[in-house]
Structure 1
Amino acid sequence: MTADADIFTDDFRAAPYWWDGTPRPDLGQPQLPAGVDVAVIGSGYTGLHAALQTSRGGRSTLVLDAADAGWGCSTRNGGQISTSIKPDLATLARRHGTATARAIHAEGHAALDWIGRFITAESIDCDFGVVGHLHAAHNAAAFARLAAEVGNEPAGLETGARVVEGAALRAELGTDAYCGGVVYPRHATLDPGRYHQGLLERVAAAGATIAPHTPVTAIAREAGGFRLSTPRGEIAARDVIIATNGYTGAPTPWQRRRVIPIGSYMIATEPLAPGLADELFPTGRTVTDTRKVVYYYRLSPDRRRVLFGGRVSAGETDPRLSAPLLRAELVRLFPRLRDIRVSHSWMGFVGYTFDTLAHAGRHDGMYYAMGYCGSGVAMASYLGMRTGLKVLGSQEGRTGFDELSFPTRPLYSGRPWFLAASVAYYRWRDRLNL
Structure 2
Amino acid sequence: MAIDIFTADFRAAPWWWDDCRTPEEPRADLPRAVDVLVVGGGYAGVHCALTLAEGGRDVLVLDAERLGWGASSRNGGQITGGVNVGKIPGGGNATKSAAAEQRQAILRDAAAGLRHLEATIERHQIQCGLHRTGRLTALWTADHWKGWQDRLDDLNRYSDAEARMIDAKSMADEIGSDFYRGGVVIGRAGHLQPAQLHAGLLAAARRAGAKAQGSTRVTAIMRQRDGDWKVETSRGSLTAETVVVATNGYTGRLVGPLHRQVIPVTTHMIATEELPADLAKSLLPSNRAVSETRRVINHFRLSPNGRRLLFGGRARFFPAAEQVTAAILHRAMLQRFPQLAGVRISHSWGGRVAVPFDYMPHIGQHDGVHYALGCNGSGVVMMNWLGHGIAQKILNGTSDRVNAFDTGTMPTHPLFHGKPWFLPIVGTYYQARDWLDRRLAA
Name 1:8's counterpart in structure 2. 6
- By how many angstroms is 1:150 displaced? 2.3
The residue identity in structure 1 corresponding to 2:185 is V
Structure 2 residue 252 is matched with structure 1 residue 254: no
Q: Secondary structure at the match of 2:267?
A: strand
Structure 2 residue 15 is matched with structure 1 residue 17: yes
Could you say if the C-alpha distance between residues 107 and 191 of structure 1 is closer, same or farther in structure 2, counting changes exceeding 3 Å? same
Q: Secondary structure at the match of 2:28?
A: coil
The residue identity in structure 2 corresponding to 1:427 is Q
Structure 2 residue 55 is matched with structure 1 residue 79: no
Name 1:418's counterpart in structure 2. 422
Q: Secondary structure at the match of 2:414?
A: coil
Name 1:27's counterpart in structure 2. 25
The residue identity in structure 2 corresponding to 1:106 is R
Which of 212, 215, 232 matches 2:214? 212
TM-score (norm 2): 0.94
Please give the residue correspondences for 1:6-405 in structure 2 after superposition, counting only pairs within 5 Å: 6-84=4-82, 86-88=84-86, 94=92, 96=94, 97=98, 98-150=100-152, 155-222=157-224, 223-393=226-396, 398-403=402-407, 405=409
- By how many angstroms is 1:90 displaced? 7.5
Could you say if the C-alpha distance between residues 278 and 346 of structure 1 is closer, same or farther in structure 2, counting changes exceeding 3 Å? same
- By how many angstroms is 1:140 displaced? 1.3
Q: Secondary structure at the match of 2:354?
A: strand
The residue identity in structure 1 corresponding to 2:131 is G
In 2, are the aligned partners of 1:228 and 1:236 still within 8 Å (CA)? yes
Could you say if the C-alpha distance between residues 324 and 52 of structure 1 is closer, same or farther in structure 2, counting changes exceeding 3 Å? same
Q: Secondary structure at the match of 2:407?
A: coil
Q: Deviation per CA, 1:89-148, whole angstroms, max 9, x where unpaired?
A: 678755552322221121111111221111111111111121100001111111232233
Q: Distance in 1 between matches of 2:42 and 2:156?
A: 33
- By how many angstroms is 1:84 displaced? 4.9
Could you say if the C-alpha distance between residues 89 and 227 of structure 1 is closer, same or farther in structure 2, counting changes exceeding 3 Å? closer
Identity between Structure 1 and Structure 2 (%): 40
The residue identity in structure 2 corresponding to 1:21 is D
Q: Deviation per CA, 1:202-253, whole angstroms, max 9, x where unpaired?
A: 1111122212100001111112311111121001000000010000012124
In 2, are the aligned partners of 1:85 and 1:357 still within 8 Å (CA)? no
Deviates more, 1:293-302 or 1:92-101: 92-101
The residue identity in structure 2 corresponding to 1:389 is Q
Q: Deviation per CA, 1:72-94, whole angstroms, max 9, x where unpaired?
A: 00000011001256354678755
Q: Secondary structure at the match of 1:47?
A: helix
The residue identity in structure 2 corresponding to 1:412 is F
- By how many angstroms is 1:313 displaced? 1.4
- By how many angstroms is 1:308 displaced? 0.3
Q: Secondary structure at the match of 1:69?
A: coil
Deviates more, 1:63-72 or 1:155-164: 155-164
In 2, are the aligned partners of 1:12 and 1:344 still within 8 Å (CA)? yes
Could you say if the C-alpha distance between residues 47 and 151 of structure 1 is closer, same or farther in structure 2, counting changes exceeding 3 Å? closer
Q: Distance in 2 between matches of 1:35 and 1:151?
A: 50
Q: Distance in 2 between matches of 1:85 and 1:106?
A: 11
Q: Distance in 2 between matches of 1:152 and 1:219?
A: 42
Please, which runs of 5 or more residues in structure 2 have no aligned partner?
A: none
The residue identity in structure 2 corresponding to 1:63 is V
Q: Distance in 1 between matches of 2:42 and 2:88?
A: 32
Q: Secondary structure at the match of 1:249?
A: coil
The residue identity in structure 2 corresponding to 1:68 is R
Could you say if the C-alpha distance between residues 70 and 90 of structure 1 is closer, same or farther in structure 2, counting changes exceeding 3 Å? closer
In 2, are the aligned partners of 1:17 and 1:344 still within 8 Å (CA)? yes
Q: Secondary structure at the match of 2:218?
A: coil
- By how many angstroms is 1:29 displaced? 2.1
Deviates more, 1:96-105 or 1:376-385: 96-105
Q: Distance in 2 between matches of 1:341 and 1:44?
A: 31
Deviates more, 1:330-339 or 1:157-166: 157-166
Could you say if the C-alpha distance between residues 94 and 105 of structure 1 is closer, same or farther in structure 2, counting changes exceeding 3 Å? farther
Q: Secondary structure at the match of 2:404?
A: coil
- By how many angstroms is 1:151 displaced? 5.4
In 1, are the aligned partners of 2:361 and 2:375 still within 8 Å (CA)? yes
Q: Deviation per CA, 1:146-187, whole angstroms, max 9, x where unpaired?
A: 233325657444522111113321110010100101000110
In 2, are the aligned partners of 1:219 and 1:227 still within 8 Å (CA)? yes
- By how many angstroms is 1:51 displaced? 0.5
Q: Distance in 2 between matches of 1:305 and 1:31?
A: 42
Could you say if the C-alpha distance between residues 318 and 235 of structure 1 is closer, same or farther in structure 2, counting changes exceeding 3 Å? same
